[in-house]
């Protein structure tokens, strides 16, 4: 089970790296756009900064453009870069080509167990469902993750749960069968905090003062 930072912000990446338990970084076109920089330039910085994997999404208008982008990103650091491809029938066929070329792939924006099944058929290493968005639009994102986990059981394809908005939702996604999580820095930090823990620390401090 791995925990990834979901960000293209280099300051966030540095802070997450300092925590010592982040397995890598996931990015998407929206996160890249927020930096105001070229995507491959951001990716180049990330592969130099991060010890683990970097997930990078292709966005070309045509299949061939997306295939070329996959190669271009992969060549930066073949041992680190995992290519993200959004879930459509056309893109699943593209993903198969990319996998057969020796490039590791994540199928992202996966919204149904059927898409997860096809992702396993094309040899994707990961599927990334947007859990909170699925709950908002379809009613129960965690139930969809649970069905995906059942379908993927016994295959090498694993779930990286994304678009999680609260600590409770993070826990729910894990219990539903997500193998990995990708979270913004603020949510990762929130996972380490609890009011009762703070109360216990305050009691310990008070005891020391009276010792």
Q: Is residue 105 within a helix (H) or strand (E), and if so which, with residue range?
A: strand 105-108
Active site residue 209: no
The answer to whether 169 touches 188, Cβ cutoff 8 Å, is no
- In a 10 Å sphere around its CB, with 0-12 CB exposed, 13-18 middle and 19+ buried, how is residue 210 labelled? exposed
3-class secondary structure, 157: coil
Active-site choice (80, 84, 165, 209): 84
User: How far is Cα 129 from Cα 108, in angstroms, rounded to an integer?
Assistant: 7
Q: Extract the tokens encoding 69.
A: 């982008």
Q: Vertex 154, ends 152 and 159: CA angle to 5°?
A: 35
* SS3 category, 165: coil
Instruction: Please list the active-site residues.
Output: 84
């Amino acid at each position: 089970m791995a925990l990834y930072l979901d960000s293209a912000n280099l300051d966030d990446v540095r802070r997450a790296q300092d925590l010592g338990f982040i397995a890598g970084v996931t990015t998407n076109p929206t996160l890249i756009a927020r930096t105001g920089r070229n995507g491959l330039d951001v990716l180049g910085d990330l592969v130099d900064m991060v010890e683990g994997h970097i997930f990078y999404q292709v966005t070309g208008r045509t299949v061939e453009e997306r295939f070329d982008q996959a190669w271009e990103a992969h060549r930066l650091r073949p041992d680190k870069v995992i290519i993200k491809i959004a879930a459509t029938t056309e893109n699943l066929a593209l993903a198969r080509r990319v996998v057969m070329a020796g490039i590791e792939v994540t199928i992202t924006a996966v919204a149904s167990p059927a898409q997860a099944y096809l992702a396993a058929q094309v040899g994707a290493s990961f599927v990334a469902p947007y859990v909170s968005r699925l709950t908002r639009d379809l009613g129960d994102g965690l139930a969809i993750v649970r069905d995906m986990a059942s379908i993927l059981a016994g295959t090498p394809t694993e779930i990286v749960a994304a678009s999680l908005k609260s600590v409770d939702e993070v826990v729910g996604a894990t219990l539903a069968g997500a193998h990995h999580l990708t979270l913004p820095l603020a949510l990762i930090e929130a996972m380490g905090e609890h009011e009762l823990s703070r109360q216990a620390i305050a009691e310990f401090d008070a005891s020391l003062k009276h010792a």
